[in-house]
Amino acid sequence: MSTLNISEGMHLYFVLTGIPGLEKEYYWMAFPLGFIYVIAILGNGIIISTIKSESSLHIPMYYFLCMLALADLGLALCTLPSTLGIFWFNYKVIAFDACLVQMYFIHTFSAIESGVLVAMAFDRVVAIRNPLRYGTILTGGVVCRIGAAILTRAVCVVFPVPFLIKRLPFYHSNVLSHSFCLHQDVMRLACASTCVNSLYGLIAVIFTKGSDSLSILLSYAFILCTVLSIASGEGQLKALNTCVSHICAVLIFYVPLIGVSVIHRFGKHLSPLTHTLMANAYLLVPPVLNPVVYTVKTKEIRRKIIQIFTRTKITVQV
């Protein structure tokens, strides 16, 4: 593919990469990949609509779950056009500015999801340590302010990133390692010092995911202390059972994130396929698995899914 440059030699676009070594199978791989995106979009959409329509779910725990579903939905929609464009249409080109926009929204929704997981951990702390005051501590106004703070932090922290990339020259390779734009991946192609970008990226990660993971750990330390103080074993299990879904969501989000970070830092000798699969897992696993986890644990969501399938079956028969 020919490289299109502006008068100074700057690239006007980047070339995205699908799965290295499997180029001939792209068309057939697009179908399971498309199915994964359908599950992510439908699953999170059902969660949002169920929480909106079911008055019994109008409590802080499910408001935060709705925020998590919105973040997952945003992540899935950010990567869908470029990923399916590669696998279905073999369209690998993304304009420079479009790449920056996609990069901004991917990192913003990722930061939002991390913040929502902290809010959900706080919700569990309040519910287990102060169950009688749960409704008075986490009022609707408090939940709205927490959501606004999560959104503001994510938007403000990620906002400088595209501008830091924009100032860098890109004269040589313009081939990215993934089917979407990530800050680290774009930054490595620059033909100038990226110290400022690396430093700000480190600060942003520490301020968001680093502090969030520490907050979640501290929250569960408080929860464990409270649970261990409960006299009956049945009471302890009941209290811990309310945290299972959130623990799964935390693992679903942070395990791929840690894997990607470790591979980027220490896995330069690994094959490009490994890097690609880990990056895709980091962005696709949470939107797909979170709805599954919360569907299993929430009967109202299960009932909603059954109603949708019943209506679909009736429509097909008619």
Convert the pLDDT of each residue in 14-43 to its tens digit. Answer: 999 888 777 777 778 888 888 999 999 999
Q: Choose among 242, 208, 223: nearest CA to 111.
A: 208
Residue in the block written with tokens 């980091």 = 282
User: What pLDDT, in 10s, does the model give residues 36-82?
Assistant: 999 999 999 999 999 998 888 899 999 999 999 999 999 999 999 99
Backbone angles phi, psi at 118, to 5 degrees: -65, -45
Rounded distance between C-alpha atoms, residue 86 and residue 243, angstroms: 39
CB atoms under 10 Å from CB of 10, counted, come to 14
Question: How would residue 314 be classed by pLDDT, with cut points 50, 70 and 90?
Answer: low
**Which tops the pLDDT comparison, 6 or 300?**
300
Backbone angles phi, psi at 5, to 5 degrees: -120, 155
Residue-level length of the chain: 318
Rounded distance between C-alpha atoms, residue 134 and residue 15, angstroms: 51
Average pLDDT of the residues in 268-284: 81
Domain at 21-306: CATH code:
1.20.1070.10
pLDDT recorded at residue 303: 78
Least confident window among 56-70, 199-213, 241-255, 296-310 = 296-310
Residue-averaged pLDDT of the chain: 87
- Rounded to the nearest 10 degrees, what angle do helices 60-89 and 96-129 cross at? 150
Q: Choose among 197, 106, 209, 200: nearest CA to 150.
A: 209
